[in-house]
């Protein structure tokens, strides 16, 4: 069983202090039946005088997102509202937020989405954002999920609507999904797992079997997951140590399993858009 409390770190968020200064961001715990499959629910509300661009280095997770862009008090039908399944993003995700709006999202654990959409390998969604109705069809007479998620002002009402929506669509028991979630957790928590060969040895699976399992149930390969969690940790280190001298990047590179600092700088820059030293100084990405 996954932890009952949502995680509190801000990993993957580029400049989290700026995000928290601009929007109301919070996480909530799903219903007990959903906790083995979901990281958490995440809610964002904003009312801005000037547009703000949020940036995120995506987790190896699928998200189901209900969103509206428009006045908070206006009927959902009069605002730009949509529901989508957002697959794992390869690169930096950016979203401009302007005026007012709100988002209700469900972030699945890596490997946890397949039991809710068992007809497709999770790699089908990678790099894509598709209408949720194509993945979770609503029967005739079903209540409008957008209104249920986005109209209430109270968080508990939105969480209850998210619970009801997902419980109506699963989960279907899937031992392979359980195995995939277990292996991704190992990558995330065990720093000695720096290569696919080490993961194969720890899991008792061949590299080919790992690739097939990750493609069908995570959506990206195990090497990609290892590299993404490295960048997440480096981003967190940079955000926590914005002193004039900056973090010890050579030491961080060694801790994260890089052969040298240059390889860390390359991965960080390719993902975030600026070198780690520039990010640590608080410079904005172009």
> Using one digit for the tens of pLDDT, what is the confidence trace for 93-122?
999 999 999 999 999 999 999 999 999 999
pTM, to two decimals? 0.89
The parent domain of residue 135 ranges over 16-167
User: Does 123 have pLDDT greater than 50?
Assistant: yes
According to DSSP, residue 283 is labeled P
231 domain residue, yes or no: no
Query: Burial level of 184, CB count in 10 A (0-12/13-18/19+)?
Result: buried
C-alpha R_g of the chain: 19
Q: Indicate which CATH number applies to the domain containing 95.
A: 2.60.120
Q: Bridge partners of 84?
A: 65, 131
> Does residue 134 sit within a domain?
yes
Domain membership flag for residue 136: yes
Question: What pLDDT score does 65 carry?
Answer: 97
Between CA 260 and CA 222 the distance in angstroms is 21
| Cα–Cα distance measured from residue 74 to residue 115, given in angstroms and rounded to the nearest whole number | 35
**pLDDT tens by residue, 232-241:** 988 888 776 6
In a domain, 58, yes or no: yes
Indicate if the pLDDT at residue 3 is higher than 60. Answer: no
User: Is the pLDDT assigned to residue 283 strictly greater than 70?
Assistant: no
| Greatest C-alpha distance within the chain | 61
Nearest to 175 by CA among 233, 116, 115: 115
pLDDT at 255: 83
In this structure, is residue 262 part of a structural domain? Answer: no
Total domain count, the chain: 1
Asked if residue 81 is part of any domain, the answer here is: yes
- The answer to whether 45 touches 102, Cβ cutoff 8 Å, is yes
- Does 83 map to a domain? yes
Closest CA to 10 of 236, 231, 256: 236
């Amino acid at each position: 069983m996954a932890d009952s409390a949502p995680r509190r770190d801000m990993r993957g968020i580029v400049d989290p202090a700026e995000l928290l200064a601009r929007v109301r961001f919070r996480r909530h715990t799903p219903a007990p039946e959903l906790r083995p499959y979901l990281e958490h629910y995440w809610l964002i509300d904003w009312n801005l005088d000037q547009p703000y661009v949020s940036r995120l280095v995506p987790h190896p997770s699928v998200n189901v997102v209900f969103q509206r862009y428009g006045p908070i008090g206006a009927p959902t039908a009069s605002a730009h509202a949509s529901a989508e399944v957002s697959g794992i993003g390869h690169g930096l995700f950016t979203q401009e937020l302007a005026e007012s709006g709100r988002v209700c999202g469900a972030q699945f654990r890596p490997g946890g989405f397949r039991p809710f959409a068992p007809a497709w390998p999770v790699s089908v969604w990678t790099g894509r954002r598709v209408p949720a109705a194509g993945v979770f069809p609503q029967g005739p007479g079903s209540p409008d999920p957008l209104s249920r998620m986005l109209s209430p002002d109270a968080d508990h009402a939105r969480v209850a609507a998210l619970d009801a929506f997902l419980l109506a669509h699963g989960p279907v028991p899937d031992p392979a999904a359980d195995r995939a979630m277990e292996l991704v957790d190992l990558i995330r928590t065990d720093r000695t797992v720096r290569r696919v060969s080490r993961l194969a040895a720890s899991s008792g699976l061949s590299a080919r079997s790992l690739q097939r399992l990750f493609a069908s149930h995570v959506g990206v390969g195990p090497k990609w997951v290892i590299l993404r969690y490295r960048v997440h940790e480096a981003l967190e280190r940079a955000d926590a140590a914005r002193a004039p001298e900056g973090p010890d990047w050579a030491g961080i590179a060694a801790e994260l399993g890089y052969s040298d600092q240059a390889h860390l700088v390359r991965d960080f820059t390719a993902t975030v858009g600026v070198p780690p030293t520039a990010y640590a100084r608080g410079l904005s990405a172009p």
